Amino acid sequence: MSRMGKLPVGLSGVTITINGNTVTAKGAKGELSVDLLDDVNIEQTDEGLVMTPANDTKQARANWGTTRALVNNVVHGVSKGFEKKLQITGVGYRAAMQGNDLKLSLGFSHEVIYKAPDGISLATPTPTEIIVSGIDKCAVGQVAADIRDYRPPEPYKGKGVRYENEHIFRKEGKKK
């Protein structure tokens, strides 16, 4: 039994349209849709959206909680949105906005220009902080991972781009 799958998805200020296996959500931030598998039934009740497995197979039960999480992410995204924060550590490492693009100075011989995809907004409140925000959780996470991949944090000095609460395992240097 899926414990997460049993919970209804709350609909605070979001209108839902169910068309076959496609769930579309409209909210204050925009509109998103997600395609669901045939293994899970979805219905709208007074409590919100309720998912149930279509049959008693192992695959249907496995997809039950996943489907609920995907629908919940869509509902949360169009109502509140998602946000990831990145921090830059290192001497001379900084970020700045250049129009809608992100300009990164990460110790290379050139500056890295990152163009944000549609639906994602980038901000740099300080030169060492980047905020990635949008309504699609998957896209926000992917953009943050792409920016981090330019210069992942190294274990000796901790220089690089890291997530806000990421712990970097530090190594001791050479001893004489």
pLDDT tens-digit map of 35-80: 998 889 998 888 888 989 988 899 988 899 899 999 999 999 999 9
Mean pLDDT of the chain: 92
pLDDT at 2: 61
How many C-beta atoms lie closer than 10 Å to residue 127's C-beta? Answer: 12
Structure tokens that stand for 52 in this block = 């149930």
- Give the residue among 92, 91, 141 at the shortest CA–CA distance from 149: 141
Provide mean pLDDT across the span 114-125. Answer: 94
pLDDT at 80: 93
**pTM for the whole structure:** 0.88
Domains, in order of start, for the chain: 3-79 (3.90.930.12), 82-163 (3.90.930.12)
- The pLDDT confidence band at residue 5, using thresholds 50, 70 and 90, is confident
Question: What phi and psi, each to the nearest 5 degrees, are found at residue 98?
Answer: -125, 85
As to burial, measured by CB atoms within 10 angstroms (0-12 exposed, 13-18 middle, 19+ buried), residue 118 is exposed
